[in-house]
Amino acid sequence: MTHRPGHWVEVADRTFARRYAELDQTLGLVVGDEHCLVIDTGSDERFGAELAAAVREITALPWTVMITHAHFDHFFGTRAFLPCPVWAHARCRDVLADTAEQTRRDWAERYRGEGKADLAVLLEAAELVLPTGVFTQSIELDLGGRAAVLLHPGPAHTDHDVAVHVPDVGVLFAGDLVEQGAPPSVGSDAHLARWPDALDRLLELGPGTIVPGHGDPVDPEFVTRQRDALRERHAAGDPGR
């Protein structure tokens, strides 16, 4: 099995989601007048290189990378974009430094068990790139003529999730705070009790379109339903933290 190239979906003016079959993943691109912002970089360096080349089909502007959280499929492709600034939540940097190598080993083993040895090899060869810029609550990036606001709405899918709000077009890139096509992934590092509150904070921004970390772009009503389902899951005694 090899990575199949993704395809762009323009969700608003100069605001794009790139969809991939592997893990049903969705990455993002926001283009300003002077800079562009790449949201997540994929699971290995070949994946990252494909994404970088696809970005260059849209814009030649200097790029900045933003990592939504420290799960392997969102950051191991970053080397393909260097040199550039790489932003993330401060906790994301700490978690990457502490756990990325174990995560690499675990997923390489899983891929081999699924008959995807080529993906295991690519993951094992990928360089870990730590963020060069970190924050804890929010930071606004000036892309030239438009802003991209990086914000942490609170513990949810992890304790360091970051979403990207593009206010001039009402688009929100939610990372794995939102998933379409499958229920949200509630792993051992999730905070299920607080996840609905984090989604409320995102909805308060009034986005018209929300781009999930996996699946197709959705509307606020979809996010509201997913919030309610997470709240019910917690009330039913799900062991998520």
Q: Measuring CA to CA, which residue among 64, 45, 50, 49 is closest to residue 8?
A: 50
CA distance 214 to 26: 5
Look up the pTM and report it.
0.95
Q: Measuring CA to CA, which residue among 236, 180, 209 is closest to residue 26?
A: 180
- Provide the terminal-to-terminal Cα distance of the chain, rounded to the nearest Å: 35
Q: How far from 232 is each of 183, 235, 238, CA to CA, in Å?
A: 13, 5, 9
- In this structure, what are the phi and psi dihedrals at residue 104, rounded to the nearest 5 degrees? -60, -50
Q: How many CA atoms lie within 13 A of 25 on its CB side?
A: 23
What pLDDT sits at residue 22? Answer: 87
For 152-180, the pLDDT digits (tens) are 999 999 999 999 999 999 999 999 999 99
CA distance 224 to 6: 28
CA distance 108 to 47: 15
pLDDT at 83 over 70: yes
The owner of tokens 């099995």 is 1
Query: Which CATH number is correct for 7-235, 1.10.150.20, 3.60.15.10, 3.10.20.30, 3.40.50.620?
Result: 3.60.15.10
CA distance 74 to 65: 11
Considering the chain, what percentage of its residues have pLDDT values greater than 90?
A: 95
Which residues on adjacent β-strands are paired with residue 31? 36
Which residues on adjacent β-strands are paired with residue 74? none
What pLDDT sits at residue 240? Answer: 58
- Is the bond into 153 cis (omega within 30 degrees of 0)? no
pLDDT at 210 over 70: yes
Q: Are 209 and 172 in contact (CB under 8 A)?
A: yes
What pLDDT sits at residue 2? Answer: 43
